[in-house]
Chain A
Amino acid sequence: MSWSDARDLLRLWREDNERKSQDVVNLWETILSKNIFKLGDERLLVLEQVCLASLDTNRLDIADKCLQSLAAEFPSSLRVRKLQALKLETLEKYDEALELLDSIIKRDETNAAPRKRRVAILRAKGKHSEAIKELTDYLKKFMSDQEGWQELCDLYLLEQDYARAAFCMEELILHNPHNHLIHQRYADIRYTQGGFENIELARAHYSLAFKLNPSSIRALYGIFLCATNIAVSPKATSPKRKEATKLANWVIKELSKRQERQNVEDSQVAALEGLISSVQLAASA
């Protein structure tokens, strides 16, 4: 592979925010470290990317070199200081890292990144409730930070606080009404909470996720589960039950179609058909 191919690959991973740390480090060692000055303006971005990847893969030798180059270039940069705090995190020197981050926050109150690193450190220490508190304070100031809402949702799920996790997902839906993944995750949370209203809500969002992305298998399975649940629920009226049973049958057909298209063996559908027959017995009762 030539150095320009490697550079393009790194750029692609940077833009897609992919965490291919081992691959980045390999590319750096084999190709890019010798050709670093051919990269022009991208050199600094690549140095930052390689620094993060090497911290991820415990290659502190590479991380040190990158940090030295970056610090030489920008001696008083807060962005470089944040990377130094990250290195302290890697070494599990959490208190020193927190001190460094606090100093960055003092220098620039509007800088979101060190505040988020503080939350990450609390999560790494296993202090989830403190991380949640810190993150909610952060989100009161930086309300439109979607990454923050996503992280808060994850933290609430870890603490099994499904109601608040659903609220975070609702915020994300407001920001991104056309993102099928958010609707699907919201539906997952509602389904997990259980109860007739939640399952109907889950079904609505799974259907929307499927409409936004017809190749989403998770959305299809989600519709199936909600439909089977509604069909046997004592709270559902008879027309709703019939509709739900029809929906479940439709999902099975869709799944079979997709499996045929991809030449997959059909044991998956057979298992679901077992579920459906038990549903039909119950719905007709």
Chain B
Amino acid sequence: MADMKLSVRAYSKIILHAAKYPHCAVNGVLLAEDPKSKDSKKGKGLYITDAIPLFHICLQVTPMAEIALTQIDHMASNSGLIIAGYYLANENIKDVGIERAGPRIAEKIAENYSNAYLIVVDNQHLTLNMDSFAIVVSQYVDGKWKTKERSSYTVEKNALDVVAGLLQQRAYDELVDFDNHLDNISLSWKNPHFNKLVEDLAETFGDQ
């Protein structure tokens, strides 16, 4: 049984955020259903439902990250979600380490949620056809990030097809990260429009 399940929406946002800025490192947070809330099914592992794309400009400085985390935390607690992890994609195609892109934020998240997840985008597996999951998943255990095996987590069905579809449509132009929001506050980092695109596309793939 898997410890963690990643939704189509979260996976799409992670991959498309990386695809939108191929020349930059990008990062963001993972939101999951609060395991302590009454609605969540007990004992089924963590369900990461959403990802909030944060930055593509200068990931190493912290002030905007602090603002972002405050606002996301506020929104999450009002929606029965928790900040359960952090994702990043490095600027260098072969780099899957975390030292370069904001390790401080990841540790801060782990302080608040002890078994936080870390997803690093495996840039070399990003293709238009998405044959395999282009991520490396780790979890914070005993003060270190331990890589998880592929069998310990599942990704919601149709995720690969949905992401391939979105990439071919260039849907990443519609994705708003926190940097875009800071440049124009009428753009919402909650991405209601993009979430709808993902849902609609997922529906067309149906219950295969």
Pairwise interchain contact A225-B74, C-beta atoms closer than 8 A: no
Which residues from 5 to 58 on chain B have a C-beta closer than 8 Å to any C-beta of chain A? 23, 58
Q: In the complex, A259 Cα to B67 Cα: how many Å? A: 16
Q: In the complex, A265 Cα to B170 Cα: how many Å? A: 28
Residues on the B chain within 8 Å of A217, using CB? 182-183, 185
User: Using a Cβ cutoff of 8 Å, how many contacts connect chains A and B?
Assistant: 72
Pairwise interchain contact A225-B67, C-beta atoms closer than 8 A: yes
Proximity bits, B148-189, A CB within 8 Å = 1, else 0: 000000000000000000000000000000000011011010
Smallest beta-carbon distance B73→chain A, Å: 7
B100 within 8 A of A: yes
**Which of the candidate stretches A106-114, A136-144, A268-276 sits at the interface with the other chain?**
A268-276
Pairwise interchain contact A267-B62, C-beta atoms closer than 8 A: no
Proximity bits, A210-242, B CB within 8 Å = 1, else 0: 000000011001101100000000000000000
**Which of the candidate stretches A39-47, A94-102, A188-196 sits at the interface with the other chain?**
A188-196
Select which of A222, A264, A267, A268 is within 8 A of B63 by beta carbon.
Answer: A222
Select which of B60, B64, B186 is within 8 A of A218 by beta carbon.
Answer: B64
Q: In the complex, A160 Cα to B58 Cα: how many Å? A: 11
Pairwise interchain contact A160-B60, C-beta atoms closer than 8 A: yes
A14 within 8 A of B: no
Pairwise interchain contact A158-B100, C-beta atoms closer than 8 A: yes
Which residues from 114 to 171 on chain B have a C-beta closer than 8 Å to any C-beta of chain A? none
Pairwise interchain contact B182-A218, C-beta atoms closer than 8 A: yes
Can you name the residue of chain A whose Cβ is closest to the Cβ of B59? A157
B66 within 8 A of A: yes
Residues on the A chain within 8 Å of B66, using CB? 225
Can you name the residue of chain A whose Cβ is closest to the Cβ of B71? A271
Q: Which of B58, B61, B185 gathers most chain A CB within 10 Å?
A: B61
Proximity bits, B93-118, A CB within 8 Å = 1, else 0: 01100011000000000000000000
Given the interface pairs A218-B182, A267-B74, the reply to whether A124 lies near B92 with Cβ below 8 Å is yes
Given the interface pairs A258-B185, A264-B186, A272-B70, the reply to whether A126 lies near B92 with Cβ below 8 Å is yes
Q: In the complex, A126 Cα to B92 Cα: how many Å? A: 7
Can you name the residue of chain A whose Cβ is closest to the Cβ of B97? A126
Pairwise interchain contact B185-A192, C-beta atoms closer than 8 A: no
Given the interface pairs A185-B58, A192-B61, the reply to whether A274 lies near B74 with Cβ below 8 Å is yes
Q: Which of B70, B94, B188 gathers most chain A CB within 10 Å?
A: B70
Select which of A19, A192, A225, A259 is within 8 A of B60 by beta carbon.
Answer: A192
B75 within 8 A of A: yes
Pairwise interchain contact B71-A192, C-beta atoms closer than 8 A: no
Can you name the residue of chain A whose Cβ is closest to the Cβ of B23? A19
Q: In the complex, A192 Cα to B92 Cα: how many Å? A: 24
Q: In the complex, A224 Cα to B66 Cα: how many Å? A: 11
Residues on the A chain within 8 Å of B94, using CB? 126
Proximity bits, A57-71, B CB within 8 Å = 1, else 0: 000000000000000
Given the interface pairs A270-B74, A271-B71, the reply to whether A262 lies near B60 with Cβ below 8 Å is no
Residues on the B chain within 8 Å of A124, using CB? 92
Knowing that A124-B92, A187-B63, A225-B67 are A-B contacts, what are 9 other residue pairs whose CB atoms are under 8 Å apart, sorted by A's residue number?
A: A126-B95, A188-B63, A188-B64, A192-B62, A202-B63, A262-B185, A262-B186, A267-B75, A274-B74
A-B contact pairs, 25 of them (CB 8 A): A19-B23, A56-B23, A124-B92, A126-B92, A158-B60, A158-B100, A185-B61, A188-B61, A188-B62, A188-B64, A191-B61, A191-B62, A192-B60, A192-B61, A225-B63, A258-B185, A259-B185, A262-B185, A263-B186, A264-B185, A264-B186, A270-B74, A271-B71, A272-B70, A274-B70
Q: Which 4 A-B pairs have the closest CB atoms?
A: A271-B74, A188-B61, A157-B60, A262-B186
